Amino acid sequence: MSSRSSGKPVLGGLRRGSETAALIVPGLVLALAVIGPVRSNSPVRAEPLMTLAAKPVFRVCADPNNLPFSNRQGQGFENRIAVLLAHRLGEPLVYTWWPERRGFVGHTVDADICDVVIGVPSGYPQLLTTRPYYRSTYVFVSRSDRALHVRSLDDARLHHLRIGLHFTGGRSNPPPADALARRGVITNVVAYSIYGDYRTPNPPARLIDAVAAGDVDVAIVWGPLAGYFATHEPVGLDVVPVSPAIDLFAGAAATPFTFDIALGVRHGDIRRRDQLQRALDREAPAIRRILDDYHVPLVADSTRPKDPPRHAVPGPRIAGEAG
């Protein structure tokens, strides 16, 4: 397995036969128990405690260092959607900040310190979800000046190009790892931690940086991450949806590369779920504009997987690790 300073080799190769892929997110390297949740109403206006106690509050669980989805400064597209929904509901927006990685739901929604996760896979088993408000896809990312134009997992050049993937080090591989392994593409894969160095802004961006710097030839990345960070690089990058949208290579179990994304609330909170669904329906055009502003690759319903992912972590940053 090859590696350079910006990425690490995949130790022991890529595992075959992992469970149906789902979504993973950047998270914190330090133990969650050490940090604990941090509640904040930044970036929205502070409310007196008596005022907050007297009316409903839009309590959102979010990662403080997870662009393009969310950060403490309110710069992510999920931050903007949260502001939009809070305004529609007429409720003050209050955040509980917690790194999105394994155990996120248990430490936030299940602990009753916040109520809503703005981005989760539709049908995510740990939460009650709304209907999807967008669908995105994995993408190939390469330098425009290389003119590689990789579009398919079956492109023969993938056996020789250096391919960067996000990994968590957890029990299951993300969809690109499994799909490539089935095709015998293993030794030229370079692993980048989705968690990265949480002391620096935007840890998952290191993989896109590696493409721009030429440390890898191509990356396969969850679309919202790639679409956003590709626009912040000093060189032009091509961002192309992965084909096929549902991989059925060699008769293996179907591996989807497109995922529906919804809002999630705790199980049993049907009233809140339905309230949020009405708000999503009314704000659909504005939400679409926000997604376009962040260059989120959007795909049509025809590529929707038949079943939701069996394992997921809220805020789907890329497909792979269980929540």
Residue 284, classed as helix, strand or coil, is helix
One CATH from 3.40.50.2020, 3.40.47.10, 3.30.365.10, 3.40.190.10 for 8-18+137-256: 3.40.190.10
Instruction: Give tens-digit pLDDT for 198-254.
Output: 889 999 999 999 999 999 999 999 999 999 999 999 999 999 999 999 999 877 889
- Cα 87 to Cα 104: distance, rounded to the nearest angstrom: 26
- Cα 93 to Cα 46: distance, rounded to the nearest angstrom: 9
Model pLDDT, residue 54: 61
- Cα 150 to Cα 53: distance, rounded to the nearest angstrom: 54
**Residue 12: which pLDDT band, with cuts at 50, 70 and 90?**
very low
Instruction: Give tens-digit pLDDT for 138-154.
Output: 999 999 999 999 999 99
Using alpha carbons, select from 33, 12, 70 the residue that is nearest to residue 202.
70
Predicted TM-score of the model (pTM): 0.80
Domain residue ranges of the chain, discontinuous segments joined by +: 8-18+137-256, 32-134+260-319
Q: What is the dihedral of CA 21, 70, 47, 199, to 10 degrees?
A: 110
Query: Would the pLDDT of 82 be above 50?
Result: yes
Query: Would the pLDDT of 160 be above 50?
Result: yes
32-134+260-319 — its CATH code? Answer: 3.40.190.10
